[in-house]
């Protein structure tokens, strides 16, 4: 047995990516700008909503309402959230099977914030060689100023990220004032502090380690890959030739010279490695650390352009394409995901579009199940719960049907005006005339008088309909009507 112990913790080697210009960098910057504009500005967007908060997107937890532009979501609509999560999960499978880790490379919060932090670092400390020099050099006045300035700006961004997140739960302008005056709720301070810390640590210090060691998606995404999935790959055949890669040098300057020597197009400049935010070498093949940010494509394109050689030594491709086979994007698996995705999205949209402006629940009060009054008539009592989901007043009417001869008594509340977003509970008494017993009953049969035997499984239907302030289909609730046993 060996005495050697394997360390459980591998010391991080800091990565100082070099900047690069190109089409994928431009695309990433565009997505990043759009994502930040949406995230940071959305809480400040107002929405004309009478009788309710005027913030366009607000998750009002105390009021148990989520406002998303014209849509008001209540707690009981939480299944929509489940629908959204299911749609996102299927979308992830669909996109990953088709185009690999585009989520990681372009849209993930970790990527977006790390990218911004790297831009700040670049802006304050300079290009990669300057940052390397600063990092490896001893502490000096310059190093102290530049590192402090970088950390200060990172902290500011982290703080504003945390505060902005909190603004989605409380009216934004009020929160900012209250926060600065020290009178915001403690939960607001705690949430902001938590997100400030996590943003600073994840995007500033941990960076690629989050993707490599912490993110579960990085681990299981390979299960969604197949031979046709788009991956970022180095064309080994072209780059290495028969004798491998070689730097530009005497007799190895033009493609013709290199090909004559059996040397490939890779000039071993290392630019693709220097721009990589996770610090890997794409020339070593597909690696789970690769977040498919495509910056190595931009880097190699720059090199190829400088040499006036064709682009594509590092490119988006597929395993099948690399092996000289045809890439088929529309496979049964992808089509299956597409169909499920379309169906789930359509069901969610339909559910939201056809939502009722109000809800009505009717529950029987079971203690007692029924009351037999002195004249022999039978009464059941119900609790009716009404919920106006609108931010405007509305009037609803309540009536019963399906139980001949039954009368409804709600103390005059059969027609009721509901305030915006009001929830109320009402008592409803349903009464039927004394039922007849079949045997020996000489009375003539009447439609409004029940025979006791017929009432064994009797039901009454409450019909709640919008009379003013909203247009919707009436809501019908069937509930049992109990009578005494006839023996």
Q: 299, 62, 77, 39: which is closest to 185 by C-alpha?
A: 62
Strands 57-60 and 415-418: unpaired
Q: Which of 124, 291, 458, 475 binds ligand SF4 (CB under 6 A)?
A: 291
Q: Which of 268, 409, 414, 422 binds ligand SF4 (CB under 6 A)?
A: 268
Is 20 a residue that touches ligand SF4 (CB under 6 A)? no
Is 280 a residue that touches ligand SF4 (CB under 6 A)? yes
Q: Which of 73, 112, 278, 394 binds ligand SF4 (CB under 6 A)?
A: 278
Q: Which of 20, 56, 172, 294 binds ligand SF4 (CB under 6 A)?
A: 294
Give whole-number Cα distances, 32 to 28, 29, 117, 260, in Å.
Answer: 6, 5, 12, 45
Is 266 a residue that touches ligand SF4 (CB under 6 A)? yes
Q: Please give the backbone phi and psi of residue 68, each rounded to the nearest 5 degrees, phi first.
A: -125, 95
Distance CA(129)–CA(125), nearest Å, equals 10
Residues whose CB falls within 8 Å of the CB of residue 211, separated by 6 or more in sequence, listed in order: 104, 110, 111, 218, 278, 289, 291
Give the burial class of 5: count Cβ atoms within 10 A of its Cβ; 0-12 exposed, 13-18 middle, 19 or more buried.
exposed
Is 211 a residue that touches ligand SF4 (CB under 6 A)? no
Q: 168, 158, 153, 150: which is closest to 195 by C-alpha?
A: 158
Choices 30-38, 117-125, 268-276, 428-436; region in contact with ligand SF4 by CB under 6 A: 268-276
* C-beta closer to ligand SF4: residue 134 or 266: 266
Is 295 a residue that touches ligand SF4 (CB under 6 A)? yes
With tokens 């831009």, the residue in question is 119
Is 269 a residue that touches ligand SF4 (CB under 6 A)? yes
Query: What is the smallest separation between the CB atom of 262 and ligand SF4, expressed in angstroms?
Result: 16
* C-beta closer to ligand SF4: residue 22 or 162: 22
Give whole-number Cα distances, 305 to 41, 251, 264, 311, 314, in Å.
Answer: 39, 20, 16, 7, 13
CB 357 within 8 A of CB 390: yes
Query: What is the smallest separation between the CB atom of 239 and ligand SF4, expressed in angstroms?
Result: 6
Residues whose CB falls within 8 Å of the CB of residue 278, separated by 6 or more in sequence, listed in order: 15, 208, 211, 212, 289, 290, 291
Choices 42-50, 54-62, 264-272, 403-411; region in contact with ligand SF4 by CB under 6 A: 264-272
* C-beta closer to ligand SF4: residue 293 or 341: 293
| Cα 355 to chain centroid, rounded | 21
Is 292 a residue that touches ligand SF4 (CB under 6 A)? yes
Q: Which of residues 314-373 bind ligand SF4 (CB under 6 A)?
A: 314
* C-beta closer to ligand SF4: residue 121 or 265: 265
Q: Which of 175, 218, 296, 466 binds ligand SF4 (CB under 6 A)?
A: 296
Note the residues at the interface with ligand SF4 (CB under 6 A): 232, 234, 239, 266-272, 275-278, 280, 282-283, 290-296, 299-300, 303, 313-314
């Amino acid at each position: 047995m060996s005495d050697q112990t394997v360390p459980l913790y591998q010391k991080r080697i800091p990565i100082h990516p070099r900047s690069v210009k190109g089409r994928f960098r431009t695309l990433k910057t565009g997505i990043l700008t759009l994502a930040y504009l949406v995230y940071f500005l959305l809480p400040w967007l107002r929405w004309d909503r009478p009788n309710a908060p005027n913030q366009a997107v607000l998750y009002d937890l105390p009021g148990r309402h989520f406002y998303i532009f014209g849509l008001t979501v209540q707690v009981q609509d939480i299944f929509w959230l489940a629908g959204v999560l299911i749609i996102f999960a299927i979308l992830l499978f669909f996109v990953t099977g088709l185009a690999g880790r585009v989520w990681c490379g372009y849209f993930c919060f970790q990527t977006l914030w790390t990218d911004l932090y790297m831009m700040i670092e670049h802006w304050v400390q300079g290009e990669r060689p300057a940052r390397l020099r600063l990092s490896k050099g001893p502490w000096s006045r310059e190093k102290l100023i530049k590192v402090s300035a970088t950390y200060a700006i990172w902290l500011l961004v982290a703080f504003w990220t945390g505060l902005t997140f909190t603004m989605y739960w409380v009216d934004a302008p009020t929160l900012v004032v209250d926060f600065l005056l020290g009178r915001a709720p403690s939960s607001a301070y705690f949430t902001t502090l938590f997100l400030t810390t996590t943003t600073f640590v994840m995007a500033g210090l941990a960076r690629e380690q989050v993707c490599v060691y912490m993110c579960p998606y990085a681990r299981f995404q390979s299960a969604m890959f197949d031979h046709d999935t788009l991956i970022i790959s180095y064309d080994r055949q072209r780059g290495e030739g028969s004798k491998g890669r070689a730097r530009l040098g005497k007799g190895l300057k033009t493609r013709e010279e290199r090909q004559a020597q059996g040397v490939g197009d890779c000039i071993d400049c290392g630019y693709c490695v220097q721009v990589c935010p996770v610090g890997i070498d794409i020339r070593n093949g597909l690696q789970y650390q690769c977040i498919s940010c495509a910056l190595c494509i931009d880097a190699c394109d720059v090199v190829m352009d400088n040499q006036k050689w064709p682009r594509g030594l590092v490119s988006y491709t597929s395993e099948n394409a690399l092996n000289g086979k045809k890439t088929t994007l529309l496979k049964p698996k992808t089509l299956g995901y597409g169909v499920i995705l379309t169906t789930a999205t359509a069901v969610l949209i339909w559910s939201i579009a056809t939502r009722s402006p109000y809800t009505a629940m009717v529950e029987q009060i079971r203690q007692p199940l029924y009351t037999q009054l002195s004249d022999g008539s039978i009464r059941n009592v119900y609790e009716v719960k009404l919920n106006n989901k609108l931010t405007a007043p509305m009037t609803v009417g309540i009536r019963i049907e399906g139980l001949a001869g039954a009368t409804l008594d709600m103390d005059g509340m059969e027609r009721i005006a509901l305030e915006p977003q009001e929830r109320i509970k009402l008592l409803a008494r349903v009464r039927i005339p004394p039922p007849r017993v079949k045997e020996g009953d000489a009375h003539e049969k009447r439609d409004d008088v029940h025979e006791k035997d017929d009432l064994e499984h009797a039901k009454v239907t409450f019909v709640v309909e919008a009379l003013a302030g909203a247009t919707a289909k009436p809501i019908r609730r069937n509930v049992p009507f109990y009578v005494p046993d006839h023996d």
